[in-house]
Amino acid sequence: MYERYNYIRGKWTDSPIEIVHEKEGVEIVKFLDLSKMPPIGSNGAFFRKDILLSIKYDPFIHTDVCYRILQKGYLFAIVDTEMIHKQDGKFSTFIKKKNRRLNRNYEELGREFYQKVETKKLISLILKCIFFLPLVFDAIVGFIKKPSLVWFLHPLVTELTFINAVFQSIKKLLKGQEITHISKNS
């Protein structure tokens, strides 16, 4: 479920990777299982023009573009830097963005790749959200490892995102649509 560096677990992603080269502030990585590639490509990703032009990139769906690049054997560099996401700061904007992602019809978009959630990880997340205290524990561990007041929002935002995802999933099921992000073989 982790798609970025996770301060709680102390690693970049749950996807199996091999660090091919490492120097101060940069890791060159190879993804060992493309079916578990995290949804990379939209948050500060840069591509060499010749590589981008060598694949199908229109429509530009960042996960598909990254998937195609990785299929060709290219590697990714992870640069140790922070990124600030500029948005209006309203919670309603955050929820609208989450709803837009939850309600996309991936088959209509013709997507080649999207990360499926493994059943055991989904159950773990559901239990964390039901009991809430594990989310508070995660926030405390995160605060200890990287002190920031944002950690105090972590349990609330995770809980609200979870409730919203459940609501949107129920809406999809009532409309007769399939929930496509759950892996059927895990």
6 within domain boundaries: no
State the Cα–Cα distance between residues 3 and 6, nearest whole angstrom. 8
Condensed to tens digits (0 to 9), the pLDDT of residues 45-86 reads 778 899 999 998 888 888 888 889 999 999 988 887 777 777
Q: What is the pLDDT of residue 101?
A: 75
Average pLDDT score over residue span 25-39:
85
Residues 96 and 168 in one domain: yes
5 within domain boundaries: no
State the Cα–Cα distance between residues 125 and 119, nearest whole angstrom. 10
Q: What is the pLDDT of residue 139?
A: 94
Average pLDDT score over residue span 148-174:
89
181 within domain boundaries: no
Identify the domain containing residue 50 by its residue range: 17-79
Q: What is the pLDDT of residue 77?
A: 85
Residues 54 and 95 in one domain: no
* Burial class for 102, CB neighbours closer than 10 Å (0-12, 13-18, 19+): middle
Q: What is the pLDDT of residue 185?
A: 44
Query: What SS3 class is residue 60?
Result: coil
Residues 71 and 114 in one domain: no
The residue that leads in pLDDT, 179 or 100, is 100
Q: How confident is the model at residue 132 (pLDDT cuts 50, 70, 90)?
A: very high
Number of domains in the chain: 2
Task: Report the predicted TM-score, pTM, of the whole model to 2 decimal places.
Answer: 0.69
State the Cα–Cα distance between residues 74 and 104, nearest whole angstrom. 29
182 within domain boundaries: no
Backbone angles phi, psi at 146, to 5 degrees: -145, 90
Q: What is the pLDDT of residue 186?
A: 43
Q: How confident is the model at residue 114 (pLDDT cuts 50, 70, 90)?
A: low
Percent of the chain with pLDDT over 90: 24
Percent of the chain with pLDDT over 70: 84
Residues 69 and 99 in one domain: no
Using the structure block, give the residue that is written with the tokens 């309600």.
Answer: 103
Condensed to tens digits (0 to 9), the pLDDT of residues 80-108 reads 777 777 778 788 888 888 888 777 655 55
1 within domain boundaries: no
